[in-house]
Amino acid sequence: MQRISVFFATAALMMLATLSTAHAAGDPEAGREKSQTCAACHGEKGNSQNAMYPKLAGQHPSYLYVTLKQYKSGERDNAIMSGQVTQLSDQDMRDLAAYYGSLEGDLYTLPLRDGGQ
């Protein structure tokens, strides 16, 4: 009997762990609507044309989300971005991350071996 409850408790904990790992999903469509300001620097579809500003299109949403949170907390400091994020809620940041992650772009994981090697 005790064994069974330990089993269920473990199963319940594992499910909880899974739930909290999976980010509350961002909504790309909602993110698109919130992205007007971002577009001024990061480009209309996240493909920034200005080399000072990173391209965001196709970037991992989890990275984008953490980055926004770091700007908000002050852990990452940037004169422009720190101002931009003050009005963003946690859900806004998830939505924006989901939107930019969903776009087609130039970004890619570095190849382990490039052509001639």
Partner 1 sequence: MTKRRASALAATLAGLLVAGAVHAEGDPEKGRYASQTCLGCHGIPDQANVYPTYMVPKIGGQHSEYIVSALEAYRSGDRTHPTMQAQARALSEQEIQDIAAYFASIDQPR
Minimal distance in Å, beta carbon 107 to partner 1? 4
Six-digit token string for 83: 């101002």
Minimal distance in Å, beta carbon 32 to partner 1? 20
| Given 27, 41, 44, 53, the residue binding partner 1 (CB under 8 A) | 53
The answer to whether 97 and 65 have CB atoms below 8 angstroms apart is yes
The answer to whether 78 and 71 have CB atoms below 8 angstroms apart is yes
| Given 21, 24, 79, 86, the residue binding partner 1 (CB under 8 A) | 21
Report the candidate in 99, 101, 98, 104 with the shortest Cα–Cα distance to residue 24.
Answer: 98
Part of the chain binding partner 1 (CB under 8 A), chosen from 9-17, 24-32, 63-71, 82-90: 63-71
The answer to whether 68 and 88 have CB atoms below 8 angstroms apart is yes
Q: Which stretches of the chain bind partner 1, using CB under 8 A?
A: 21, 48, 51-55, 58-60, 62-63, 65-66, 75-77, 105-112, 114-115
